[in-house]
């Protein structure tokens, strides 16, 4: 006789998974492949998710790190959702490449704001993580020395802007809302006249997903975040879950990576997904848990998202 599986209640955080910027970026690559055929070159991972990248590779996308890897064959080149320094489209233009910019419009908004502050003579403090593609792209909107990166509260306490400069700040779109609030408070206290973003720079999707994971973390013995280790918003979700009361939070990229025994002794498990992780991967994790447990599920929704972004105009096919 097969022993009865232990019961496990799964809380599915909502919103979770794909945001409008990620969806738009993926559709740009797919539409370019449909119109122009393979290959379509993509500079950097279009979004930080191997499942998505490998799916596009099977359709004929070729991912490169730099434009120097792209041959002059007339095929489209797509810039990733994270945004690129101005030097990248400049290089593409000089080589007469046909390129499509899949930068998330909310990241582009940060770029334009950086330019506006710069035009008004302000030195910009960018709150973000060194080396992240979005930060590299944002810093590359201005000349070297016109922007200073502030990574954390300690950096906010010690940063030394150019003497006498008027200041402004902006942020990477995928940061921890709580951590960023602490950094901003320090900057405001140190530099009372610092100009603020016209609108919150952390994007709606990041804010909503962090609020959602907080709502399930407080009720969960374990939180599972579906996402990639190089995905900033996914890493932040795991951190937020732990701070919000989950005794343990782990991140996996696929259901197969999850050891369901991690949930032994748990009554309730929360699951969420980063903004670049498709829903099919969440279902993989639920199915993996079902192998060991009698699972019941509950949707815990804190916001409903209806944001969509239009695709850029594409060259007509001859």
Count of other CB atoms within 10 angstroms of residue 299? 10
pLDDT at 198: 83
**In the chain, what percentage of residues exceed pLDDT 70?**
99
Mean pLDDT of 201-223: 96
Mean pLDDT of 286-298: 98
To the query of whether residue 134 is one of the catalytic residues in this protein, the response is: yes
pLDDT at 3: 78
Within this chain, domains 20-104 and 106-190 share the same CATH topology: no
Global pTM value = 0.94
At 2, the pLDDT band (50, 70, 90 cuts) reads low
SS3 of 12, please?
Answer: strand
Quickly tell me which residue has 């197969």 as its tokens.
Answer: 256
Q: Under CATH, what is the fold of the domain 106-190? A: Cobalt-precorrin-4 Transmethylase; domain 1 (3.40.1010)
- Average pLDDT for the chain: 96
Q: Which of 47, 48, 19, 10 is nearest to 303 (CA)?
A: 19
16-32 confidence digits (pLDDT tens): 999 999 999 999 999 99
Helix, strand and coil content of the chain, in percent to the nearest 5, comes to 40, 20, 40
Cβ–Cβ under 8 Å, residues 83 and 134: yes
The 3-class SS string of 107-170 reads: HHHHHHHHHHHHHCCEEEEEECCCCCHHHHHHHCCCCCCCEEEECCHHHHHHCCCCCCCEEEEE
Give the start-to-end residue ranges of the domains of the chain. Answer: 7-18+204-301, 20-104, 106-190
SS3 of 171, please?
Answer: strand
Residue from 134, 239, 242, 305 carrying the catalytic annotation: 134
Q: Under CATH, what is the fold of the domain 7-18+204-301? A: Cobalt-precorrin-4 Transmethylase; domain 1 (3.40.1010)
State how far the Cα of 163 lies from the Cα of 149, in Å rounded to an integer. Answer: 16
Mean pLDDT of 292-296: 98
151-205 confidence digits (pLDDT tens): 999 999 999 999 999 999 999 999 999 999 999 999 999 999 999 998 889 999 9
CATH of 20-104, one of 3.40.225.10, 3.30.420.40, 3.40.50.720, 3.40.50.11270: 3.40.50.11270
Q: Which of 195, 200, 139 is nearest to 167 (CA)?
A: 195
Helix (H) / strand (E) containing 27: helix 20-36
Cβ–Cβ under 8 Å, residues 213 and 240: yes
Cβ–Cβ under 8 Å, residues 243 and 182: no
119 exposed, middle or buried (CB, 10 Å; 0-12, 13-18, 19+)? Answer: exposed
The pair phi, psi for residue 185, each rounded to 5°, is -60, -40
235-274 confidence digits (pLDDT tens): 999 999 999 999 999 999 999 999 999 999 999 999 999 9
220-236 confidence digits (pLDDT tens): 999 999 999 999 999 99
Q: Which of 16, 18, 6 is nearest to 51 (CA)?
A: 18
65 exposed, middle or buried (CB, 10 Å; 0-12, 13-18, 19+)? Answer: exposed
């Amino acid at each position: 006789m097969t022993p009865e599986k232990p019961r496990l209640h799964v809380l599915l955080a909502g919103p979770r998974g794909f945001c409008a910027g990620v969806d738009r970026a993926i559709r740009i690559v797919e539409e370019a492949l449909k119109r122009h055929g393979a290959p379509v070159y993509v500079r950097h991972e279009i979004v930080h998710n191997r499942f998505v990248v490998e799916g596009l590779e099977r359709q004929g996308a070729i991912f490169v790190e730099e434009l120097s890897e792209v041959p002059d064959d007339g095929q489209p080149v797509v810039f990733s959702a994270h945004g690129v320094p101005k030097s990248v489209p400049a290089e593409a233009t000089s080589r007469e490449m046909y390129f499509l910019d899949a930068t998330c419009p909310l990241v582009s908004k940060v770029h334009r704001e950086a330019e506006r502050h710069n035009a008004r003579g302000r030195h910009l403090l960018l709150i973000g993580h060194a080396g992240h593609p979005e930060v590299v792209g944002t810093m590359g909107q201005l000349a070297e020395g016109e922007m200073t990166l502030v990574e954390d509260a300690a950096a906010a306490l010690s940063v030394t802007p150019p003497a006498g400069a008027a200041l402004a700040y902006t942020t990477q779109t995928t940061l921890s809302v709580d951590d960023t609030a602490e950094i901003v408070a320090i900057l405001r206290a140190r530099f009372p006249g610092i100009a603020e973003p016209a609108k919150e720079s952390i994007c709606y999707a990041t804010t909503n997903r962090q609020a959602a994971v907080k709502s399930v973390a407080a009720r969960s013995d374990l939180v599972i975040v579906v996402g990639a280790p190089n995905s900033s918003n996914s890493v932040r979700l795991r951190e937020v879950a732990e701070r919000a009361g989950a005794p343990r939070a782990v991140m996996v990229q696929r259901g197969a990576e999850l050891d369901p025994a991690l949930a032994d002794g748990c009554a309730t498990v929360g699951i969420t997904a980063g903004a670049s992780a498709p829903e099919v991967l969440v279902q993989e994790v639920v199915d993996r848990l079902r192998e060991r447990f009698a699972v019941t599920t509950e949707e815990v929704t804190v916001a409903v998202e209806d944001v969509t972004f239009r695709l850029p105009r594409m060259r007509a096919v001859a």
